[in-house]
Every structure is written in C-alpha cells, then in structure tokens.
C-alpha cells in the first residue's frame, strides 16, 4: 500500500509526463519541472511585458506571451490536480478493499477454528476404543482372578 509520500513522489517527481512543452533533449519531464518551467516562462513574459510598456506593439506581444504562459500553467495545474484527485480516490478505494479482506480473513480464521474444534469434539464423542487385557499373576490388594479395570 503506497504512503502519501510515495504517492506524492510518484506524481510530482516521476519523469514520465508528456506534452507540447517537450524538447528533444528532454522528452519527458517531471510534474515538478513542468510547473517550474511554466512558471519561469510566465515570469519572464511578465517581466518582458513590464519592460516594454513604452512600446505598445512590443507590450502587446509580450502580454500575449505572458497570457500564453499563464494559460499553460493553468492547464498544467488543472491536469495535475485531476491526477492527484484520482490517485487519492484510488488510494482510498484500495485501503477500503484491504480492510474488507482483512475482516473476511479474520472471520474465516474464526470459522475454521470453530469447525475444527467441533469436528474433534464430534469424533471423540463417537469414537470407541476396544482393549483386550490379559492379566496373569497376582495383582496386590486383589483376589486372584477378580481384577476390575476402570472403563
């Protein structure tokens, strides 16, 4: 059963996310690096837009880049949030299933112990033992030929 830390690590630091931001030198990115890269791009775009306020055409271009960066960040956050929500739901369902199995196993163990005990009691109650006894000689404290054995 995965812990919360293991789930977080698998979602945020596993190098398996594919998307339009991939580059030939880095075809798979971790969620953590995607968000960081998107944030850095958005920050650069905003800084560029602020520096170009005096030039209207330049400001419009940089503003569009900032909007694109923010939109990419929002898309990445939405996708990652959906993944985390599903992972949390899967974890909860797995924990519930494990609890049901553990309960069933405990019930089965009790049932088996009871059935075995009942079977042993029934076997002992219906079993008979035949014993042939031959006594020779004198048994102290008895009359010869008058030995009584307990049943």
Query: Which of the pair, 125 or 114, is modelled with greater confidence?
Result: 114
Across residues 91-116, what is the average pLDDT?
91
Query: Which of the pair, 26 or 103, is modelled with greater confidence?
Result: 103
pLDDT given at position 106: 92
pLDDT given at position 72: 85
Q: What is the pTM of this model?
A: 0.36
When pLDDT is cut at 50, 70 and 90, the band that residue 148 belongs to is low
pLDDT given at position 29: 66
What is the C-alpha separation between 16 and 27, in angstroms, rounded?
Answer: 9
**Would you say 70 and 44 are in contact if contact means Cβ atoms under 8 Å apart?**
no
When pLDDT is cut at 50, 70 and 90, the band that residue 68 belongs to is confident
What is the C-alpha separation between 86 and 53, in angstroms, rounded?
Answer: 43
What percentage of the chain has pLDDT greater than the value 90?
13
CB atoms within 10 A of CB 92: 10
When pLDDT is cut at 50, 70 and 90, the band that residue 104 belongs to is very high
Q: Which long-range contacts (CB under 8 A, 24 or more apart) does 29-38 make?
A: 31/76, 31/80, 31/83, 34/76, 35/73, 35/76, 35/77, 35/80, 38/69, 38/72, 38/73, 38/76
2 has pLDDT over 90: no
């Amino acid at each position: 059963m995965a812990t919360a830390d293991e789930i977080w690590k698998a979602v945020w630091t596993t190098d398996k996310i594919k998307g339009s931001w991939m580059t030939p030198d880095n075809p798979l990115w971790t969620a953590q690096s995607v968000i960081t890269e998107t944030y850095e791009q958005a920050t650069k775009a905003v800084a560029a837009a602020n520096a170009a306020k005096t030039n209207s055409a330049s400001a419009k271009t940089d503003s569009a880049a900032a909007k694109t960066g923010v939109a990419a960040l929002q898309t990445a956050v939405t996708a990652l949030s959906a993944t985390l929500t599903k992972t949390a739901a899967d974890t909860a369902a797995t924990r519930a299933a494990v609890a049901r199995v553990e309960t069933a196993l405990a019930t089965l163990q009790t049932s088996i112990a009871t059935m075995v005990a009942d079977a042993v009691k029934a076997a002992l109650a219906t079993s008979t033992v035949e014993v042939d006894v031959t006594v020779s000689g004198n048994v102290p404290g008895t009359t010869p030929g008058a030995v009584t054995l307990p049943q």
